Structure 1
Amino acid sequence: MARWGGLAVLPVMAAPAEYGVHLQARIQPLMTGVGPVEAAVALTAALGRMAADGALPDLIVSLGSCGSRTLEHAAVYQASSVRYRDMDASPLGFEKGVTPLSDLPALLPLPCPIPGVRCASLSTGGAVISGAAYDAIEAEMVDMETWALLRSAQSFGVPLIALRGVSDGRAELKALEDWTSTLHHVDQNLAVALDALIARLEADGLAALEISADHGLDPAHLLAPDSTA
């Protein structure tokens, strides 16, 4: 864990390919693996061990790449909200994205504390989105981990910030290189955003994470029912 502004912060990433030299000079993240299942399992296991030791982080920062058909290529954005696009119980009468028999809405807000870093909405799912598949996506960005990471963090009462750099989306993906070819630019831009986040946390602490009322959801509702945080 890192310590920024007196806070214990756990950086989290999915894949070593996204962890370039600029981030390597700043953080040693928990690597979860790719996709919502791997992300949830790895983070929950890590937080469980930390909770047992009485050493939960004050904040989790998720960093990585994303796809977007509309946003600036290689630029970094703060995720202002996240949806779980794989959840669809609409045949049972539930809104698409709503987990049945839970109190969770389809969209969960996220804090955007970094001045000068643009915010965008995010959609998480287990499939790589490319080409015409974007037509079914409501959000501006797509990834494969953030919703799962957020739900894990919420179960321990720990806030989470998600920073995503756009690695693909302009053209249809046909090979692994179509994703990895931009990651060195994403790494550099994530490091710049991370420096700005560290400065904000050092100045304001956790108060920087306050979610504004225009998100339309009381942040208290985001904690798991058994959370004491």
Structure 2
Amino acid sequence: MRLERHGGVSTLYVMAAPAEYGDHLKARIAPLMTGIGPVEGAVVLTAALARLEAAGDLPDLIVSLGSCGSRTLAHAAVYQASSVAYRDMDASALGFPKGVTPLLDRPAVMALPCPIPGVPRATLSTGANVVSGATYDAIDAEMVDMETWALVRAAQTFGLPLVALRGVSDGHAELKALEDWTSTLHHVDQNLAIALDRLVGVLEAEGLAALEIPAFEGQDPAHLPAPDSITP
């Protein structure tokens, strides 16, 4: 793990699994590896940020990179997560809306910054289960992963923004083996690196101002029209 500086922005890159960290990303970054799932993501990132804060070296920005599942989006394409929801949270039996954590001042869906021109936006759902086949029917998001909500909550604890970039590795067919996830990861790695280069350019030109989430009157920014996706 190392912090990268782009212009005046100190950045910590975070990934979940070594299988997602291919040659293209290895040539650019040395990320914090958290392990898979929301618990590992929250624990490892929080511990790392606490150590950095104690050393007086807290980053300005966290960038989460990795794969995701999607039944509808282009295979191997990369998207900026425009929002994230926590699909495991369901306290509706106590009168709370599904997705809302009881006694926590956070909505069921949190908007995320999408600063990169030319990289499309898509909504994201985080949970501890691998989504496949009919499991998608119950999820109101375009992408699914297992870490982003947890990483965002850890980042918020330290007052830090987070950008999430996800490449679609699976979802068009039912998952039956580990290879159904890993077989596309070399394409995802290449396309994540392209998106990362664009993000670096934006940060060097605009700094943290590029991360502002604009307010669009009468329209949820998570559902704005998106430009063409990055594909192999």
Please indicate, yes or no, whether the TM-score normalized by the shorter chain is above 0.5.
yes
- State the alpha-carbon separation in 2 of the partners of residues 192 and 87 from structure 1: 34
SS of match in other structure, 1:162? strand
CA shift, 1:5, in A, is 1.4
- State the alpha-carbon separation in 1 of the partners of residues 40 and 6 from structure 2: 27
- State the alpha-carbon separation in 1 of the partners of residues 51 and 112 from structure 2: 25
How many residue pairs get matched?
A: 217
Q: Which residue of 8, 11, 14 maps to 1:12?
A: 14
SS of match in other structure, 1:71? coil
- State the alpha-carbon separation in 1 of the partners of residues 60 and 220 from structure 2: 24
CA shift, 1:165, in A, is 0.1
SS of match in other structure, 2:30? coil
Q: Name 1:130's counterpart in structure 2.
A: 132
Q: Which residue identity lines up with residue 192 of structure 2 in the other structure?
A: L
Q: Name 2:103's counterpart in structure 1.
A: 101
- State the alpha-carbon separation in 2 of the partners of residues 118 and 5 from structure 1: 24
Q: Which residue identity lines up with residue 24 of structure 1 in the other structure?
A: K
CA shift, 1:82, in A, is 0.1
Q: Name 1:31's counterpart in structure 2.
A: 33
CA shift, 1:102, in A, is 1.2
Structure 1 segment 54-133 matched on structure 2, within 5 A:
54-133=56-135
Q: Which residue identity lines up with residue 199 of structure 2 in the other structure?
A: L
Q: Which residue of 174, 181, 193 maps to 1:172?
A: 174
Q: Which residue identity lines up with residue 154 of structure 2 in the other structure?
A: S
SS of match in other structure, 1:208? helix
- State the alpha-carbon separation in 2 of the partners of residues 139 and 5 from structure 1: 34
Task: Provide the alpha-carbon RMSD of the alignment.
Answer: 1.0
CA shift, 1:7, in A, is 1.1
Query: What are the ranges of 5 or more consecutive residues in structure 2 without an aligned counterpart?
Result: 222-232
- State the alpha-carbon separation in 2 of the partners of residues 101 and 21 from structure 1: 43
CA shift, 1:216, in A, is 5.7
Query: What are the ranges of 5 or more consecutive residues in structure 1 without an aligned counterpart?
Result: 218-229
SS of match in other structure, 1:100? coil
Q: Name 1:222's counterpart in structure 2.
A: none
SS of match in other structure, 1:188? helix
